[in-house]
Amino acid sequence: MGIEAALPVDGFLTTQLRHVINWSRRSSLWPMPFATACCGIELMATACSRFDLARFGAEVMRFSPRQADLLIVAGRVAIKTLPVLQRIYEQMCEPKWVISMGACASTGGVFDTYAVVQGCDQFIPVDVYVPGCPPRPEQLIEGVMMIQRHIDQEGLPPSGGKRVPLGLAVQPTHSVRPQPAGLTVGI
């Protein structure tokens, strides 16, 4: 980590236990992927070598909710799938966090039908919304970092009582060019 080089051999640091706990907790988020559609492919790409979610200590994907504390909903949620999602959320460890990845998870996206949940936040608390269809891996990483910054600054969510979601949204970092784009036809 480089800290050994910065300290003398028999040196020591003073800090607060709360800071150490928050530091270790935010550096070891264990995601539970709930990938039901195309956003799941971007989620997989985020964990691969090009984007390397491991740099943020959040690459240990767990497929058992009891071993995970970060639920990533990636893709549309069908009404029939909703009880499964809710059960997974209930079984996850506390303190736990939720990212809604992509338009479908957050709003139903283009699937404005009776069979698709029009936003998973109607049924589980969502801390960070990542926009896009699909979002880029960088956007998902920014969503993870928003939760890490919150853990660093605020510490643990209040225990007991109703869970209050953070309700943060990743903002787009680009401006859309004028549409429609000009077309040229070669002869």
Q: Could you list the residues that contact ligand SF4 (CB under 6 A)?
A: 37-39, 75-76, 102-104, 109, 133-134
Given the complex with ligand SF4, which of 94 and 112 has the nearer CB atom? 112
**Tokens 């990743």, located at residue:** 170
Tokens of 84: 């499964």
Whether the CB-CB separation of 63 and 69 falls below 8 Å is answered with no
DSSP state of 12: -
User: 40 or 125, CB closer to ligand SF4?
Assistant: 40
Backbone angles phi, psi at 106, to 5 degrees: -85, -35
- Among 82, 24, 54, smallest CA distance to 144 is for 54
If DSSP codes are grouped into helix, strand and coil, which group holds residue 70? strand
* Token duo for residue 57: 């200590």
Nearer to ligand SF4, 88 or 140 (CB): 140
Shortest separation between residue 26's beta carbon and ligand SF4, angstroms: 26
Q: Which residue is nearest to ligand SF4 (CB)?
A: 104
Q: How far is the CB of 76 from ligand SF4 (least distance, A)?
A: 6
* Smallest separation, CB 148 to ligand SF4 (Å): 23
Between 42 and 127, CB nearer to ligand SF4: 42
* Min CB(86)–ligand SF4 separation in Å: 19
